């Protein structure tokens, strides 16, 4: 850097030649090159040794000026120290920058900083935690393929004998595989992790118990529920319960959430007060953890409330979960919150609100490799098509939803599947009672309805089987009227 008495005239000359501009509104003078090409030409005109020297001086000066408060300038320090040939300090600051950006939900900045750190660190043991941090941020914004690669790179870097870190990465990888419906790969990852952790949680230290609880709750129990093996899910949660108090708030949040999920699915998506109490316990624990956990706990409480018929309370929670998703950049949570708001508006028969939300819901679907989410978006469109008296569109959308959901988990929690109500209605109106009965039977495969509606649907099905089409049509008409009054469509 120039001496103080040389700097002023040099800056004045550069400004006079229009190479530099002073940034307005700053307490201390800050200058920028008029054009990036001028900056690039100037930089490239320096000898390599000069560049390293100047980067080093800039880094040390900035570090001293920050006086220990380096979070906000850590990425800049990382770049300067890297260019100055100080890889150790560059690596430390890049990781610090990534951690700060992650905590601030600046996801793209976090990814950039972690990757810069990894470029310096190479492939050794020091990359394990960096790869895990990178994977978690990538997963947050639904870049799951890249997240998988980062977890696998971290596993390759784990040193022999470090069983806890290897188990942690295997559990996280397994959970990621479940989100992509790669169930065999997930079970293999969980089995490998459990072999590393050992079988008796009562004899584990605190750190190992935390990993074991994640394996059992967010790993195995979640996958059992996803694959509709609900008795196994509940048994797995029951096995985790004796050591739950030794786990973190995140593990307690997961326990009560998966307990509610498994019970609700087992009861064909009828929600009772016990389920709502478990969902509220999940949210209370999440409030002691991270905002992402709060967001998802809030969303699922809203979804349970919606299934319970508490539409107004559900909408309030959905607005909150959407606001959190927007703030932290959690794309999955944003998508599901928007879809939940569409479902709530539909249950209020607010056609204008559903129509306004539909483009946003579909836009989110384009960025998510999630058939259930896209099916839910199309189900809202089917309901709108029925409202608009477009029966052919209802039938076409129903066919698309069937193609999307064949072989996927039960859609009862995510969207109903509500498209079958308008499908039954258009078939009945068209004089096709057989197709209408078939649609309502598919509905009852997924959801248990209030006693009166369930009885009417049963009567319609029995009348059709007994070759009484007129009676079946009358029962179906009554069932559809009752379903509309109850807000199902």
Say which residue, 147 or 450, is predicted with more confidence. 147
Distance CA 114, CA 118 (A): 6
> What pLDDT is attached to residue 26?
58
Q: At the topology level of CATH, where does 56-157 sit?
A: 1.25.40
pTM given for the model? 0.82
> What pLDDT is attached to residue 417?
86
Q: What is the rounded average pLDDT of the residues 87-107?
A: 92
Q: How confident is the model at residue 4 (pLDDT cuts 50, 70, 90)?
A: very low
Distance CA 64, CA 70 (A): 9
What is the greatest pairwise CA distance in the chain?
103
How far is CA 80 from each of CA 31, 112, 122, 397, rounded to the nearest angstrom? 18, 15, 19, 55
> What pLDDT is attached to residue 331?
87
Express each pLDDT in 221-254 by its tens digit. Answer: 999 999 989 999 999 999 999 999 999 999 999 9
Burial readout 46-84 (b: 16 or more C-beta within 10 A, e: otherwise): eeeeeeeebbbebbbeebeeeeeebbebbbbbbbbbbbb
> What pLDDT is attached to residue 2?
43
How far is CA 307 from each of CA 258, 263, 432, 441, rounded to the nearest angstrom? 16, 13, 30, 19
Q: Give the sign of the dihedral formed by CA 318, CA 320, CA 321, CA 323.
A: positive
With pLDDT > 70 as the criterion, what percentage of the chain qualifies? 90
Say which residue, 155 or 76, is predicted with more confidence. 155
Q: How confident is the model at residue 92 (pLDDT cuts 50, 70, 90)?
A: very high
**3-state class of 32 per DSSP?**
strand
Express each pLDDT in 376-399 by its tens digit. Answer: 999 999 999 999 999 999 999 999
Q: How confident is the model at residue 178 (pLDDT cuts 50, 70, 90)?
A: very high
> What pLDDT is attached to residue 60?
81
Q: What is the rounded average pLDDT of the residues 13-24?
A: 66
Q: What is the rounded average pLDDT of the residues 446-453?
A: 88
> What pLDDT is attached to residue 397?
96
pLDDT at 422 over 60: yes
Mean confidence (pLDDT) of the chain: 89
Structure tokens at 200: 């008796």
Residues 6+ apart with CB under 8 A from 347: 306, 311, 487, 488
Distance CA 87, CA 188 (A): 38
Distance CA 478, CA 484 (A): 10
Q: How confident is the model at residue 190 (pLDDT cuts 50, 70, 90)?
A: very high
Provide CATH 1.25.40.10 ranges for the chain. Answer: 56-157
How far is CA 473 from each of CA 5, 175, 392, 430, 445, rounded to the nearest angstrom? 95, 46, 21, 12, 20
With pLDDT > 90 as the criterion, what percentage of the chain qualifies? 67
Express each pLDDT in 337-374 by its tens digit. Answer: 999 999 999 999 999 999 999 999 999 887 777 788 89
> What pLDDT is attached to residue 150?
97
> What pLDDT is attached to residue 448?
83
> What pLDDT is attached to residue 82?
87
Q: In terms of DSSP bridges, do strands 31-33 and 20-22 run parallel, antiparallel, or are they unpaired?
A: antiparallel
> What pLDDT is attached to residue 40?
63
DSSP labels, 222-282: HHHHHTT-HHHHHHHHHHHGGGGGGS-HHHHHHHHHHHHHHHHHHTTT---HHHHHHHHHH
Residues 6+ apart with CB under 8 A from 163: 196, 197
Among 33-42, 126-135, 145-154, 270-279, the minimum mean pLDDT is found in 33-42
């Amino acid at each position: 850097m120039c001496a103080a008495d040389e700097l002023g005239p040099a800056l004045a000359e550069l400004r006079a030649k229009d190479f530099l501009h002073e940034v307005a509104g700053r307490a201390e003078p800050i200058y920028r090159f008029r054009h990036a090409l001028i900056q690039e030409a100037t930089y490239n005109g320096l000898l390599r040794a000069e560049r390293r020297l100047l980067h080093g001086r800039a880094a040390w000066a900035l570090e001293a000026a920050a006086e220990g408060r380096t979070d906000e300038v850590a990425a800049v320090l990382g770049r300067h120290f890297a260019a100055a040939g100080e890889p150790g300090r560059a690596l430390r600051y890049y990781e610090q920058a990534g951690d700060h950006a992650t905590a601030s939900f600046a996801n793209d900045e976090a990814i950039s900083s972690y990757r810069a750190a990894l470029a310096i660190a190479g492939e050794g043991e020091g990359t394990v935690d960096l790869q895990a941090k990178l994977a978690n941020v990538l997963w947050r914004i639904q870049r799951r393929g890249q997240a998988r690669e980062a977890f696998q790179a971290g596993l390759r870097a784990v040193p022999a004998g470090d069983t806890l870190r290897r188990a942690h990465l295997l559990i996280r990888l397994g959970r990621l595989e479940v989100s992509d419906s790669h169930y065999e790969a997930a079970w293999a990852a969980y089995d490998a992790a459990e072999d590393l952790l050992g079988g008796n949680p009562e004899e584990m230290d605190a750190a190992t118990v935390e990993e074991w609880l994640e394996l059992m709750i967010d790993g195995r129990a979640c996958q059992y529920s996803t694959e509709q093996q609900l008795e196994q899910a509940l048994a797995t949660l029951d096995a985790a319960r004796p050591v739950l108090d030794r786990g973190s708030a995140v593990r307690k949040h997961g326990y009560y959430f998966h307990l509610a999920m498994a019970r609700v699915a087992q009861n064909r998506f009828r929600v009772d007060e016990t389920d709502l109490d478990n969902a509220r316990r999940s949210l209370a624990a999440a409030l002691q953890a991270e905002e992402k956990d709060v967001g998802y706990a809030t969303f699922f409480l809203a979804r349970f409330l919606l299934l319970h018929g508490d539409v107004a309370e559900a909408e309030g929670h959905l607005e909150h979960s959407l606001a959190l998703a927007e703030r932290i950049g959690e794309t999955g949570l944003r998508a599901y919150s928007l879809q939940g708001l569409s479902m709530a508006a539909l249950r209020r028969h607010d056609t204008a609100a559903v129509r306004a939300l539909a483009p946003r819901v579909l836009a989110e679907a384009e960025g998510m490799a999630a058939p259930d989410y896209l099916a839910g978006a199309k189900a809202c469109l089917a309901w709108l098509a029925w409202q608009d008296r477009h029966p052919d569109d209802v039938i076409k959308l129903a066919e698309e939803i069937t193609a999307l959901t064949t072989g996927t988990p039960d859609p009862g929690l995510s969207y109903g599947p509500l498209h079958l109500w308008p499908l039954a209605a258009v078939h009945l109106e068209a004089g096709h009672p057989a197709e209408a009965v078939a649609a309502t039977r598919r509905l009852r495969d997924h959801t248990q309805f209030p006693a009166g509606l369930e009885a009417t649907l049963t009567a319609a099905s029995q009348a059709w089987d007994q070759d009484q089409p007129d009676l079946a049509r009358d029962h179906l008409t009554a069932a559809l009227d009752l379903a509309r009054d109850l807000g199902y469509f």
